Chains A and B, each alone.
Chain A
């Protein structure tokens, strides 16, 4: 996988700090899982956290050291990525992309909401060839990771593993520019406001 669109530096830093809103952190984790470059950056950035933690003025503990459990301390095996689904998503999805119960949201466009504990909204979006997602302006940040296929927006072309970030200052309109379906993981800080009239009707009817 050749990844050309990475996480923004400020996003990576916030992610390693544990300060990214949950929906964005989910997308960041899925990207980092498939991106060697961003995995390396995460390792370097955690040293920033380590240095800041080490530099904090200690607050004395009220109680002493807990009794130490003995017994086997087995290394945990890392799950092997068995499909095109990034590991952090596998648990949420409970299967591969073929088994997703898609919901039709417009001609050639489907979505599927993923359960998320915490702020924001996380979902999969599927667009048929030549289809675009409804135009929307964002309230807060949004991150889109390509899981299958590719899309193009104002900033360029995004292939599998690439991630696009947008905020209120940069509305974007991704269009599937390939022959097959394009499936993306989309995390939004807050539910987006669709600006098209039709989309607005849908939003009302389907309570986005």
Chain B
């Protein structure tokens, strides 16, 4: 109903998402060596997913295409900042896509900082153990999301993928506002619990 699938599909002849660690490695190669081949792989993996994201946020196919291209171009331009960031490649690309969507589709100001702007002080390259725990974190978030009860999963997807506010979710699902918020809180608590020992 939501067209959401957790397993990646090689739809449209595109390659499936690589392992999480592989993506971070690609972004590192883009960041450190401006490696066009590494960028091409990132582009082929995330471009079609960012396009899908923009369409779910209400963009028509042509606009979604433009915004996907621009998002990935921003990844290329800003890649040198990624090294200082401890987040995964997907986290970084999500944050750029989210802000691009607020700016261009909603024509509002994106108030959210990108991960690299949020870092208290730029650190040098992530230590190997940090990179490992980052990969672990992504795996656990995916697992926690997959285990959420359907009603909690639904509100999380409506917020992140369709960009609906609490009020809009309540309206869409015909639920009291308080129910939407409490489902979201419960989902968050489970995700947080899954990450607890890694924080």
Contact = CB atoms under 8 A, between A and B. Distances in A.
A125 interface: no
Nearest to B164: A19
B8 to A, nearest CB: 7
A204 interface: no
B73 A59 contact: no
A28 B188 contact: no
Nearest to A87: B113
A87 to B, nearest CB: 9
B98 A47 contact: no
A55 B52 contact: no
A118 B90 contact: no
Interface string A114-135: 0001100000000000000000
B161 A29 contact: no
Interface string B79-117: 111001011101101110111011000111111110111
Nearest to B180: A10
A94 to B, nearest CB: 15
Interface residues of B, number: 99
B5 to A, nearest CB: 6
Interface bracket on A: 35 or more
Interface in B1-53: 3-9, 11-14, 17, 34, 36, 39-40, 43-44, 46-53
A45 to B, nearest CB: 8
Nearest to B89: A50
A121 to B, nearest CB: 14
A205 interface: no
Contact of A58 (B11, B137, B177): B11
Max count, chain B CB within 10 A of own CB: residue among A21, A32, A60, A141: A60
Interface stretch (A61-69, A149-157, A195-203): A61-69
10 nearest A-B pairs in the assembled complex, by CB-CB distance: A58-B48, A60-B12, A50-B90, A29-B111, A118-B108, A17-B159, A10-B181, A49-B94, A10-B184, A50-B91
7 contacts: A10-B185, A29-B112, A63-B65, A65-B72, A68-B39, A76-B117, A117-B109
